[in-house]
Structure 1
Amino acid sequence: MFKIPEGPQQIIHMLEGRGHEAYVVGGCVRDSLLGITPHDWDICTSALPQETIACFSEFRVIETGIQHGTVTVLLEGEPYEITTYRTDGFYSDHRRPDHVEFVRSLRQDLERRDFTVNAMAYHPQKGLVDYFEGQTDLINKQIRCVGDPDRRFQEDALRILRALRFASVYGFRLDDATARSAFSNRELLRSIAGERIQEELCRLLCGCKAGVMLTRFTDIFSMFLPEIGELAAFSKNGAGWPDVWAETVRGVSSAPADRLLRLVMLLRDIGKPFCFTEIRRGSMRFYGHAGISAELAGKALRSLKFDRATISTVEELVGLHKIKLIPSDRCILRQLSRIGEAQFRRLLAVKRVDLAAQENAERDKAMWRLDAVEKCLERVLAQKRCFRLKDLAISGRDLIMAGMPQGVQIGNTLQILLRLVIDGKLENTRDSLLAHCLKEGWFGHEYKQTECHADCNGNQRHYPSEY
C-alpha cells in the first residue's frame, strides 16, 4: 500500500527474527495514507521492553519512557521509538495513565489510542491493520474517537485540543459524537499544563481550518484563553455592534501560516471589550485598545508558558498594529531604528491582514498607503541608510579619543547623533558627526538625561537630550 523506509523495515525484521510481532503505527501510517511524508516512524511490538533492548544490544538504545514501554533505538544516527503493546490504567490527572499493563495483543494496543486515524498499524508484508475504520474516516475527512469519546477525553483532556488541531491541519471535521463530547468535557482542559496547550494551539492556528475551529469551538478555546470568551461575548451583546470576534477569526484565517503572525491576529483585539465608546447606535470607537490588547496578550501568553522572545514579539506587534505609518524616509528609518527590519516587516504583514479582515470603506486607500510604505522601506534598505547605532560612522571609542569623558553621556550622544542622521540633519560621516559634537560644545560638558520629542507619527517618545 505504501513503502516503509529501510530503517523501520530493519527494526521490524530484527524483532520478528527473535519471534516478536512488530508494525509501524500511528501518525506515520495516517500520513502515509494521506500521501504525506512522515517526520517520524514509530514501531509497536509484542516484545517487552527488556526483550526489545536485548534485540538491539549491538545498537545504542535509550530508555526514553521505559516505564510506559518505550525505548529509542539509534540506527545510523536516526532515532526510532519502539513501544510494547499495552493497555492503560486509570488517568487520575486527566493527562497520563497512573500505570500501564503490557500485553501481547495488537488490537488491545490500538483500542487504547485517541482517534481512529491514529489507531492503524502497517506491516510491509501483512499490509494495513485497521480495526476501527480509520481509513474510512480519512476518506470521509473526519476525526472520530476510538470507542467512547467521553472516556477518551476524560483519560487525557489534551485530546480535546488535539482533535481540533488534527481537524485544522488536515482540513477535516469532528464527527458529531466527538464534537459533543469535546464540548461537554472542555472544563477538563483547565487541568492541563500551559506548555502542552501552547504546543497544540500553535499547530492548530497554522492549520488551513483554524478559522473554522475558532468559530465552532469558541467555548473550548475560552477554557485556556478567557479573553477570547470575553471578545466573543462582547460581539453578541448588541444589535448593530461590530462583530469583533468575526474580524479576529477572519484575520487568523487570512494571515500567512506563521506562528507569530497568527498569534498576533488572534490577540490583537482582545482589549476592545474594555475600552469601547458608543458614538451612536451601531457606531463604536475603541480608544487605546491596542495598548490594552498588548498587555492582555502578554498576560495570556505567559499563562501558556510561551518563551520570552515570542511574548515580546507578539506583545510589541499587538501594541503597534494600529500605528499610522507614513511613506517617508524619516518615518521608515525611525521605525526601523525602534523595532528593527524583521519586526517592521512583520508589522506590515499584520497591518495588511488587519485591513483585509475589516469591512471598511477606507480599506483600499489604506492598502495603497501600505504599498507605498513598503516601497519606501525597500528603497532605504537598498540605499543602506543608517538606522542603527552600529551603522553610525563613529563609535563610543571615537568620542572618548576626541576628549569626551567615559560615562552615560557617551551612549546619550550616540543616540542623539543617530536621531539627527535619521532625520537628515547630519551626514553620516566621521568628520560631520565629530564636528557637530565640537560645535555644540559637548566635549567636557554634562548632559540632561532625556528630552521629549514627537516621533514621525506624533507620538511622544523620550530620547536623550541634545545638550
Structure 2
Amino acid sequence: MTEVREAAFKVLARLEKAGHQAYLVGGCVRDRLLGMEPADYDIATDARPERVQALFPKTVATGLKHGTVTVLMDGQSVEVTTFRRETGYRDHRRPDRVRFVTELRQDLSRRDFTVNAMAEDRRGRLHDPFNGAADLKQGVIRTVGRAEDRFAEDALRMIRALRFSAQLGFRLEKKTRTALERQKPLLRHLAVERVTGELEKVWKAEEPSRALRPLWEMELFPHLPPFAAWGVPVPAPRIPFIRVDTAKTRRARWSLFLHLCGVKGEEAERRLSSFRLSANEVRAISTIHRLAVNWDLSPQDVVTGKKRLLRHGFEPLEAALTAAARIRGWESAEEAVLRSALHRWHREMPVHRLEELRLNGQELIRALHQPPGPWVGSVLQSLLEKAALGEVPNEREALIREGRRLVEPNT
C-alpha cells in the first residue's frame, strides 16, 4: 500500500469511527479499477466541513464554500469533500448554489462522466449507480445523465471528455459526442487558463491524437478560447495527428500542435502567449518551434550544430529535432542519424555554458588590466565558443591569451 493510500484509509477509518459515511471517490477509484496506482486519493463524506476540521488536527481550508477540506495525514494530503448537490450554472462554468446532502448517490449524480462517478469504501465495496465499471470495460466516455445538461452546466466538460479519451484511450459514447457537437457554442464561456490546463494534461497521454482530432472534426476552434480570438481560422491539419503521439516530450508536442494549427515560426511567441503560459515557457516553446520549422542541420554541419547547441542547449535542440522530424515526415532511420549526430556533437564539446569556462569576468579584467564594461561579456562569449569548438583549450592561461588577442588585436 502506498503512503498516500495508507493515509487516505486512516482518514476513512477516523470518519467512520466518528459515525460518518466516507468513501474513496472519482479518479482514484477509476484508476485502481484500470490497474493503475492513483497519484492521489479523494474522499467524499456526509460530514460537514467544520466537522472534518474538528476531527483532524491538521487541515487546510481548501474550499469551504464547496465543502472541501484538505486533511494532512502522515505527511500526505487527502482532499475530503462533503456530499453535495450543485445547481444554477448561469455562467456555464461554476454552480450558482451548492447544497450539502447526506446521500452518496446524490453526490455521485453531479459528477461529469460515469467512469468518474464511482465510490469505494475502505472494505473494497464498489458503489456504482451509473455503471461506470461497465463503461471502463467497454472503453467508453459517457456523461452521468443527459449529456446536454452536463455540458451546459460546465462547458469545460466537453474538453475534459476529449482529454479523458486521450488519457484512457477510450472513445466518446455516441450521445455524448452528439451533445458535444450541439453544445460547442458554450465553449466561448471558458477561461483560457482552464483550456490550457486540459491541453497540458493531454500532452501527458500516450495518444494525444485522440483529443486533438475531434477539435478539427467537430469544428470546435471557432468557439474555443484562445483560438476564437486569433482573428484567423485554424486551417486543416498539415500532418497526420498520430505523429504527435510519437513525440514523447511536452514541448515537442506543443510545437507540433502549433504546426497543426498553422502557426509559423515567427508567430509562435504571440500565439503561445494567448494560452497564458508563463513567459519562460513561451520563450522555450517558441524557440523550439522556430528551430523545428526552420530546421536546416545535417550530420555534416558539425560547427553550425555545435554553435546551435551552445546557443540553445541540448534539450531544446533535441526537442526541435523531434518536432522537425514529424513536421517533415522523415523516416525513423533519418531521424536516428541526426539524433546520433546531435549527441556526438554534445559529447565532443569540452564546455557547454559559461559556468564551465575556466575563466570568469573578474579574472579576465585583472589579467588584461582593463576597466569593466560590456566588452567582458562579449569576450567571454567568444571564448566560450572557441573552447566549445576546440579552437582554444579550456585552460586559464590559454583563455587569457586568447582574450588579450581579442581585446588588443594589434598587440
**1:234 deviation in Å?**
4.1
The residue aligned with 2:268 is 297
Residue identity in the other structure for 1:416: S
**1:420 deviation in Å?**
4.3
Name the CA distance, whole Å, in 2 between partners of 1:171 and 1:413. Answer: 54
Matching of residues 17-36 of structure 1 within 5 Å:
17-36=17-36
Name the CA distance, whole Å, in 1 between partners of 2:140 and 2:61. Answer: 35
Residue identity in the other structure for 1:252: V
Q: Is the 8 A contact 1:248 1:265 kept in 2?
A: no
Tell me the TM-score normalised to structure 1 length: 0.78
**1:93 deviation in Å?**
1.9
The answer as to 2:205 corresponding to 1:214 is no
The answer as to 2:411 corresponding to 1:442 is no
**1:182 deviation in Å?**
1.2
Q: Is the 8 A contact 2:235 2:261 kept in 1?
A: no
SS in 2 for 1:36: coil
The residue aligned with 2:376 is 410
The residue aligned with 2:227 is 226
Seq. identity, %: 34
Residues 436, 117 of structure 1: CA spacing in aligned structure 2 closer, same or farther, 3 A cutoff? closer
Point out where structure 1 has 5 or more consecutive residues left out of the alignment: 236-244, 272-291, 446-466
Q: How many residues align?
A: 402
Q: Is the 8 A contact 1:221 1:228 kept in 2?
A: no
Residues 20, 112 of structure 1: CA spacing in aligned structure 2 closer, same or farther, 3 A cutoff? same
The residue aligned with 1:80 is 78
SS in 1 for 2:44: strand
1:146 to 144, 147, 163: 144
1:326 to 298, 312, 327: 298
Q: Deviations over 1:305-326 (max 9, x none)?
A: 1112221111001111122113
The answer as to 2:244 corresponding to 1:252 is yes
Residue identity in the other structure for 2:312: I
What do you get for the CA RMSD once the two structures are aligned? Answer: 2.9
Name the CA distance, whole Å, in 1 between partners of 2:381 and 2:123. Answer: 70
The residue aligned with 1:307 is 278
The residue aligned with 2:362 is 397
Name the CA distance, whole Å, in 1 between partners of 2:267 and 2:152. Answer: 30
The residue aligned with 1:40 is 40
Name the CA distance, whole Å, in 2 between partners of 1:126 and 1:432. Answer: 70
Q: Is the 8 A contact 2:221 2:234 kept in 1?
A: no
**1:437 deviation in Å?**
4.8
Which segment drifts farther, 93-102 or 346-355? Answer: 346-355
The residue aligned with 2:160 is 162
**1:248 deviation in Å?**
5.3
**1:183 deviation in Å?**
1.6
Q: Is the 8 A contact 2:41 2:79 kept in 1?
A: yes
Which of the two has higher C-alpha Rg? 1
Which segment drifts farther, 114-123 or 180-189? Answer: 180-189
Q: Deviations over 1:369-394 (max 9, x none)?
A: x5444334333433442353344443
Q: Is the 8 A contact 1:330 1:422 kept in 2?
A: no
The answer as to 2:74 corresponding to 1:92 is no
Residues 187, 296 of structure 1: CA spacing in aligned structure 2 closer, same or farther, 3 A cutoff? farther
Q: Is the 8 A contact 2:238 2:259 kept in 1?
A: no
Q: Deviations over 1:258-278 (max 9, x none)?
A: 22111111113544xxxxxxx
Name the CA distance, whole Å, in 1 between partners of 2:209 and 2:135. Answer: 22
Name the CA distance, whole Å, in 1 between partners of 2:104 and 2:178. Answer: 29
Residues 205, 246 of structure 1: CA spacing in aligned structure 2 closer, same or farther, 3 A cutoff? farther
The residue aligned with 1:130 is 128
Point out where structure 2 has 5 or more consecutive residues left out of the alignment: none
The answer as to 2:313 corresponding to 1:340 is yes
Residue identity in the other structure for 2:323: V
Name the CA distance, whole Å, in 1 between partners of 2:401 and 2:312. Answer: 29
SS in 1 for 2:59: strand
Q: Is the 8 A contact 2:295 2:324 kept in 1?
A: no
Name the CA distance, whole Å, in 1 between partners of 2:397 and 2:308. Answer: 26
SS in 1 for 2:151: helix
Q: Deviations over 1:20-68 (max 9, x none)?
A: 2221111111111111111122111122222333333xx2122211111
The residue aligned with 1:463 is none
Q: Is the 8 A contact 2:238 2:260 kept in 1?
A: no
Name the CA distance, whole Å, in 1 between partners of 2:282 and 2:83. Answer: 41
The answer as to 2:195 corresponding to 1:197 is yes
Residues 216, 18 of structure 1: CA spacing in aligned structure 2 closer, same or farther, 3 A cutoff? same
Name the CA distance, whole Å, in 2 between partners of 1:17 and 1:391. Answer: 60
